[in-house]
């Protein structure tokens, strides 16, 4: 539940940051740097919401009479989160080392 709440807090913080940028006149089409920032953080937010959706599914689903057990569903959701961890670490290294 903590991860789910933190995911929503992150997305809310990102929306606040975007609103501040727009208030300063920095839009997605302003320049290449702002376009990259908006697209990169939007992709991050979409992937994060996918993981939060998986966690909410595990938290709210009744697993009494289903073909999948709660521990299995939680493990599958953790695979998604760990894949995203690895992907973002890879992208960070690629962007950091590629400059």
Backbone dihedral angles phi then psi of residue 64, each to the nearest 5 degrees: -65, -50
Give the pLDDT of the chain (99 residues) as one tens digit per residue.
888 899 899 999 999 999 999 999 999 999 999 999 999 899 989 999 999 999 999 999 888 888 889 999 999 999 999 999 899 899 889 988 887
CB-neighbour burial class of residue 48 (10 A; exposed 0-12, middle 13-18, buried 19+)? buried
Quote the pLDDT of residue 98: 82
| H or E element that contains 20 | helix 2-23
User: In which domain, by residue range, is 59 found?
Assistant: 2-97
The number of folded domains in the chain is: 1
């Amino acid at each position: 539940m903590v991860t789910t709440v933190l995911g929503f807090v992150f997305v809310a913080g990102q929306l606040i940051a975007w609103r501040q940028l727009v208030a300063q006149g920095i839009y997605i089409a302003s320049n290449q740097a702002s376009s990259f920032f908006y697209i990169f953080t939007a992709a991050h937010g979409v992937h994060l919401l996918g993981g939060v959706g998986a966690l909410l599914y595990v938290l709210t689903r009744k697993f009494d009479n289903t073909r999948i057990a709660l521990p299995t569903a939680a493990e599958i959701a953790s695979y998604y989160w760990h894949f995203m961890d690895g992907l973002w670490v890879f992208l960070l290294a690629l962007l950091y080392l590629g400059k």
